């Protein structure tokens, strides 16, 4: 994505839906409609802060058939690098932001015979749009939604009204757990499972499905990692002949962009693989934080996903 | 004249037990018994607990030639003594397919499908598996027995069974059809196209090629 491909939007509505989650409505500046998307898509929101530009992925949670506005849900992260705090503290109705066109890395399987959706916390957001695609489709589905407590159950009124008995709620505060094993051991052939939520939950769902004999082609998940903080390091961009300093709280990708070098990306969360970059030289170790490279590729140390991964080294040379 | 290198032509591979599956459904015809018994033996040594979750649906050779040889009778006895969960033997393919469909409709995720037999039989089984959204990583198929094809006439939409020749007369419209390698998983058939449309009556030599 380059800046020319962004769409200028204005914040037209903000609602605090839980103590940690704000719901934003974005409309195109100057009117008109926004690009078409399918359930499960995300956008990158570009936030121009005082000292830094943040670009974070957020799932679109509104109906794909309503393109006057986009809706996103932003959870305030405790260890925010600034993006979620910016959205929560700086953005008000009337604020202007830039967004990238929607990308779907978490689409529904079009010929599934049944869908089982599993959400944890803010992980509910991609499902809200997918549910709009499922309504009236004739394919059975069920949603299992786990939250900390009643006050943290975002978008519950909307879900209750539209999903009825297909919604299954689980509250940590009441000791309720999604019965993953029972749920996944008894699904008809042709069922697909989708999970979005905390890393531990996603891992557990994948492992449980596999132990129940599910093949990988029926298991879908999405988790955008925020770029973790780490030690500062230096990187040399071989093709651009540029040295770039990566501070502890800025990602490799952000640092490279700040130096004026463009790297293609789609998700900025370690999922899509678009920012895959070749490592030419390294005198230390790579800290891989992505979900894209295989363990074998990570061990080889020949490539890196600069959106979320870092290095502990004296010298890193990239093919950029 | 037979066009080769067509991507839709199915590719098969020797069957192997996939012990990541929780349930195993085996469907075979004629000499297809041998690969299925091989998988059962593999399971017995690698994951014996899988055997009780294994079901076999089998049709011996019907009328001698369709299954492409002998082996049917011996197969039944071997299946019966293999101590798998269930063995069902059918008189003909339609009865087997009917039971197969009913079995899939009550099967759970975690099932692996193993198919062995002549290609036309595999195609009919796959067609039903597709309706249940079984993906490539849930199905294994090994071709054995005759290569005779089901041919779908693109002109009248009739399907001619047991085609062994490169050119065949359509059972529906009596056109002479060139048998192609284009395969439809949905129809479980290869495509047949009128061969003498340009010059009626002028046929290339008819040869037995799918034996």
Q: The domain containing residue B86 runs over which residues? A: 23-143
Considering the domain boundaries, does residue B10 fall inside one? no
Q: Are the C-beta atoms of residues A7 and A27 closer than 8 Å to each other? A: no
Question: Do the Cβ atoms of A186 and B108 come within 8 Å?
Answer: yes
A237 in Cβ contact with A315 (< 8 Å): no
Give the pLDDT of residue B128. Answer: 97
Task: Note whether B112 and B169 are same-domain residues.
Answer: no
pLDDT in tens, B126-140: 999 999 999 999 999
- Tokens representing B152 are 């779908």
Best of B101, B110, B114, B140 to substitute, by most chain A Cβ atoms within 10 angstroms, is: B110
Q: How far apart are CA A33 and CA A168, in angstroms?
A: 34
In the predicted structure, residue B62 carries a pLDDT above the cut 70:
no
* Tens digit of each residue's pLDDT (9 = 90 or more) over A139-191: 999 999 999 999 999 999 999 999 999 999 999 999 999 999 999 999 999 99
**Are B130 and B182 members of one domain?**
no
Question: Which residues of B are less than 8 Å from A189 in CB distance?
Answer: 104-105, 107-109, 111, 132-134
Among B23, B30, B81, residue whose Cα is nearest residue B55: B23
- The total number of structural domains that make up chain B: 2
Gap from A136 CA to chain B (nearest CA, Å):
20
The tens digit of pLDDT for each residue in B166-196 reads 999 999 999 999 999 999 999 999 999 999 9
Encode pLDDT of A74-101 as tens digits. 999 887 778 899 999 999 999 999 999 9
Average pLDDT over residues B72-83: 80
Q: Do A189 and B109 touch (CB under 8 A)?
A: yes
Angle between helices B93-105 and B119-131 (to 10 degrees): 30
A115 vs chain B: nearest CA distance in angstroms? 12
pLDDT at A4 over 80: no
CB contact under 8 A, B107 and A189: yes
Rounded to a whole number of angstroms, the distance from the CA of B106 to the nearest CA of chain A is: 7
What pLDDT band is residue B63 in, cutting at 50, 70 and 90? Answer: very low
Neighbours of A22 (CB within 10 A): 19
Mean pLDDT of A194-209: 96
Q: Is the pLDDT of residue B67 over 60?
A: no
Residue B60 lies in a domain: yes
Residue A190 to residue B138, Cβ atoms within 8 A: no
My answer on whether B172 and B90 are in the same domain is no
Tokens 């962009």 found at: A257
What does the pLDDT average to over B48-59? Answer: 94
Q: Residue B115: phi, psi to the nearest 5?
A: -125, 135
**Structural domains of chain A, ranges and CATH numbers in brackets:** 3-104 (2.40.30.10), 114-222 (3.40.50.80), 233-318 (3.10.20.30)
Q: Do A210 and B104 touch (CB under 8 A)?
A: no
Do A189 and B135 make contact, defined as CB atoms within 8 angstroms? no
Q: How far apart are CA B110 and CA A188, in angstroms?
A: 9
Residue to substitute from A183, A189, A210, interface B, most B β-carbons within 10 A = A189
Give the Cα-Cα-Cα angle A136, A61, A197 (nearest 5 degrees): 105
Q: Are residues B67 and B167 in the same domain?
A: no
Question: Contacts of residue B108 in chain A, CB cutoff 8 Å?
Answer: 185-189
**In this structure, are B30 and B117 located in the same domain?**
yes
Q: Which residue of A has its CA nearest to B24?
A: A213
Domain assignment of residue B209, yes or no: no
If asked whether residues B48 and B98 sit together in one domain, one would say: yes
pLDDT at site A141 = 98
Taking contacts as CB-CB distances below 8 angstroms, the residues of chain B near A209 are: 109
**Residues B129 and B162 reside in one and the same domain:** no
Beta pairing partners, A44: A57
Q: Is B14 inside a domain boundary? A: no
Chain A residue with minimum CA distance to B20: A213
Mean pLDDT of chain A: 93
Would you call B20 an interface residue with chain A, using a CB distance cutoff of 8 Å? yes
Which one is predicted more confidently, B71 or A201? A201
Clarify whether residues B130 and B171 are in a common domain.
no
Instruction: Give the rounded percent of residues in chain B with a pLDDT score beyond 90.
Output: 80
Strands A70-75, A21-28: parallel, antiparallel or unpaired by DSSP?
A: antiparallel
The H-assigned helical ranges of A212-308 are 252-258, 295-300
Which residues in A56-71 are b (16+ Cβ under 10 Å) and which e? bbbbbbbebeeeebbb
The CATH number covering residue B102 comes to: 3.40.50.80
User: Do residue B137 and residue A184 have CB atoms under 8 angstroms apart?
Assistant: no
Q: In chain A, what residues touch B22 (CB-CB under 8 Å)? A: 185, 212-213
State the complex-level ipTM: 0.85
Q: pLDDT > 70: what percent of chain B?
A: 92
User: Of A26-30, A69-73, A161-165, B71-75, which range is least confident?
Assistant: B71-75
- Kindly identify which residue of chain A lies nearest to residue B135, measuring between CA atoms: A217
The Cα of B180 is separated from the nearest Cα of chain A by a number of Å equal to: 28
How far is residue A87's CA from residue A76's CA, in Å, rounded to a whole number?
A: 8
Please choose, from the candidates A143, A136, A138, the residue with its C-alpha nearest in 3D space to the C-alpha of residue A195.
A143
Which residues lie closer than 8 Å to A147 by C-beta, 6 or more apart? A120, A121, A153, A154, A169, A170, A171, A172
Query: Can you spell out the DSSP letters for B33-54?
Result: HHHHHHHHHHHHHH-GGGGGGE
Residue B80 domain-assigned? Answer: yes
């Amino acid at each position: 994505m380059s800046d020319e491909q962004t769409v200028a939007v204005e914040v037209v509505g903000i609602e605090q839906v839980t103590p940690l989650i704000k719901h934003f409505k974005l409309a195109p500046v100057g009117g008109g409609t926004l690009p078409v998307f399918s359930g499960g898509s995300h956008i990158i929101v570009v936030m121009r802060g005082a000292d830094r530009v943040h670009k974070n992925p957020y799932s679109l949670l509104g109906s794909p058939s309503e393109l006057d506005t986009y809706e996103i849900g932003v959870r305030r992260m405790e260890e925010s690098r600034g993006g979620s705090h910016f959205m929560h503290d700086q953005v008000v109705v009337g604020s202007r932001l830039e967004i990238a066109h929607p990308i779907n890395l978490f689409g529904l399987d079009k010929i599934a015979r049944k869908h089982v959706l599993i959400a944890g916390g803010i992980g509910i957001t991609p499902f809200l749009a997918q549910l709009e695609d499922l309504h009236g489709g004739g394919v059975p589905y069920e949603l299992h939604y786990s939250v900390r407590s009643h006050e943290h159950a975002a978008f519950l009124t909307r879900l209750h009204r539209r999903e009825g008995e297909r919604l299954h709620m689980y509250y940590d505060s009441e000791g309720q757990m999604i019965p993953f094993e029972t749920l996944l051991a008894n699904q008809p052939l042709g069922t697909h499972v989708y999970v979005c939520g905390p890393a531990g939950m996603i891992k557990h769902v994948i492992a449980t499905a596999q132990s129940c004999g599910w093949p990988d082609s029926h298991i879908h998940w999405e988790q955008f990692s925020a770029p973790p903080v780490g030690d500062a390091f230096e990187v040399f961009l071989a093709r651009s002949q540029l040295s770039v300093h990566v501070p502890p709280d800025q990602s490799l990708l952000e640092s490279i962009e700040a130096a004026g070098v463009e790297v293609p990306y789609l998700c900025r969360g370690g999922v899509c693989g678009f920012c895959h970059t070749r490592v030419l030289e390294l005198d230390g170790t790579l800290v891989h934080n992505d979900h894209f490279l295989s363990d074998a590729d990570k061990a080889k140390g020949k490539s890196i996903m600069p959106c979320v991964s870092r290095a502990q080294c004296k010298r890193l040379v990239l093919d950029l | 004249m037979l066009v080769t290198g067509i991507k839709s032509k199915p590719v098969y591979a020797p069957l192997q037990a996939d012990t990541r599956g929780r349930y195993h459904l085996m469907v075979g015809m004629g000499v297809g018994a041998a690969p299925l018994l091989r998988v059962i033996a593999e399971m017995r040594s690698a994951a014996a607990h899988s055997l009780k979750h294994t079901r076999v649906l089998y049709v011996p050779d019907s009328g001698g030639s369709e299954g492409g040889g002998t082996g049917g009778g011996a197969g039944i006895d071997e299946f019966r003594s293999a101590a798998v969960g269930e063995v069902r033997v059918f008189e003909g393919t339609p009865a087997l397919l009917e039971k197969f469909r009913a079995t899939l409709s009550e099967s759970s995720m975690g099932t692996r499908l193993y198919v062995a037999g002549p290609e036309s039989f595999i195609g009919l089984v796959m067609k039903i598996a597709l309706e249940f959204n079984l993906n490539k990583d849930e199905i294994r198929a090994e071709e054995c027995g005759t290569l005779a094809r089901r041919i779908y006439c693109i002109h009248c939409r009739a399907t001619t069974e047991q085609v062994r020749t490169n050119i065949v007369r359509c059972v529906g419209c009596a056109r002479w059809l060139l048998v192609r390698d284009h395969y439809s998983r949905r129809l479980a058939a290869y495509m047949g196209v009128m061969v003498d449309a340009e010059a009626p009556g002028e046929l290339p030599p008819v040869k037995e090629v799918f034996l």
